[in-house]
């Protein structure tokens, strides 16, 4: 009885692995991204079209808001932020060069 129940398992495993092989060739799906206005208008505006052209199977849904949303709790897959502080249970990866903020004013100011 046990042998009869287990006999189809190897074929089903092979079929499942074969179904997954589709994802080895080209990524596809929806990525939900949250970011700030400043990042969207500079960094993301330059890079997103290039990314989408290279990965036509991916759709990116971008939410732009200057309120720092909780990436995980709000159901996002990723978020672009300034700095290195991250929420718990998340991972930060640098995607751009370091930057500095400067205050610039006329001498009379």
- Predicted confidence (pLDDT) per residue in 5-39, tens digit: 767 777 777 787 777 766 667 888 999 999 999 88
Confidence of residue 51 (pLDDT cuts 50, 70, 90): very high
Q: What is the mean pLDDT of residues 46-61?
A: 93
Gap between the Cα atoms of 66 and 35, Å rounded:
8
In a 3-state reduction of DSSP, which class is residue 4? helix
Predicted model pTM: 0.65
The pLDDT of residue 31: 95
Helices assigned H by DSSP within 1-106: 2-6, 9-20, 22-25, 37-39, 45-54
Topology adopted by domain 27-97: D-Maltodextrin-Binding Protein; domain 2 (3.40.190)
Q: What is the spatial order of strands in the sheet that 29-35 belongs to?
A: 58-64, 29-35, 78-80
Contact 98, 53 (CB under 8 A): no
């Amino acid at each position: 009885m046990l042998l009869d129940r287990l006999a189809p398992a190897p074929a089903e495993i092979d079929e499942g692995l074969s179904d997954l092989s589709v994802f080895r060739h080209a990524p596809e799906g929806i990525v939900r991204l949250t970011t700030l206005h400043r990042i969207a208008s500079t960094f993301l505006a330059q890079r997103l079209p290039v990314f989408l052209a290279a990965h036509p199977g991916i759709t990116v849904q971008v939410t732009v808001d200057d309120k720092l949303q909780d990436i995980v709790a709000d159901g996002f897959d990723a978020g672009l932020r300034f700095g290195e502080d991250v929420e718990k249970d998340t991972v930060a990866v640098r995607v751009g060069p370091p930057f500095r903020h400067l205050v610039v004013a006329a001498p009379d100011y």
